Chain A
Amino acid sequence: DAGVIQSPRHEVTEMGQEVTLRCKPISGHNSLFWYRQTMMRGLELLIYFNNNVPIDDSGMPEDRFSAKMPNASFSTLKIQPSEPRDSAVYFCASREDTSYYEQYFGPGTRLTVT
């Protein structure tokens, strides 16, 4: 298995631009997570999907952030408009259905907003 795939791996954009991060989970996994990691705030859960349905989006910082999972093999995290404080590494992770199973993390997308 190829593991969780994220694209792009690096993104540099200017403040005010729209940014879209993409994730392909491991086939057969029912749950998908988006995390943001910064030195100041650590590893934060942004949103959690189960069977393509958003279950918990309480970690989404504000309305500028949105996430979708149109099918079991694809998810996007969009930031519009982007701000310098959004600069971080964004991880996508997937997991089989229950918490007994580990989360598999993708390689991450390093976002820099100038």
Chain B
Amino acid sequence: QQPVQSPQAVILREGEDAVINCSSSKALYSVHWYRQKHGEAPVFLMILLKGGEQKGHEKISASFNEKKQQSSLYLTASQLSYSGTYFCGTEAPDNYGQNFVFGPGTRLSVLP
């Protein structure tokens, strides 16, 4: 099942903060975050694993609430380069180590 992302789109000015949310109806083992700029391929940002382990971008933070099956991506002091579509990918325990399902994406536009 595809995770749900919110908001669908957000517009910011440089320096402002944003939060992108991802939720699933299934129990999750991990959440993955990717960013895709227009006309380019998705690029890895962060992985959050059940139990609190994280691996990812130094300037971007995220949280993973296992009980609520939710993750949030925090973009602080946004820069023009943050513009793009952000996808979360969720992995359930029953397909651990195999694949995951991408959400529909959140389009972020940072204006000068």
Contact = CB atoms under 8 A, between A and B. Distances in A.
Contact of A99 (B41, B43, B97): B97
A45 B99 contact: yes
Say which size band chain A's interface belongs to.
20 to 34
B98 interface: yes
A108 interface: yes
B84 interface: no
B42 A50 contact: no
Nearest to A59: B99
A103 interface: yes
Nearest to B56: A102
A102 B97 contact: no
A56 interface: yes
B64 interface: no
B72 to A, nearest CB: 19
Q: Is the interface of A mostly helix, strand, loop or mixed?
A: strand
Say which size band chain B's interface belongs to.
20 to 34
A99 B87 contact: no
Contact of B30 (A42, A43, A99, A103): A99
Nearest to A110: B39
Contact of B102 (A43, A104, A108): A43
B30 A102 contact: no
B82 interface: no
A92 B72 CA distance: 27
Interface of B: 29-30, 32, 34, 40-44, 47, 49, 55, 87, 91, 95-105
21 contacts: A33-B99, A42-B102, A42-B103, A42-B105, A43-B102, A43-B105, A45-B99, A45-B101, A45-B102, A48-B98, A55-B98, A55-B99, A97-B97, A99-B29, A99-B96, A102-B32, A102-B44, A103-B34, A103-B42, A105-B41, A105-B43
Which 5 residue pairs of A and B lie closest in terms of their CB atoms, listed nearest first? A102-B44, A105-B41, A43-B102, A48-B99, A42-B104
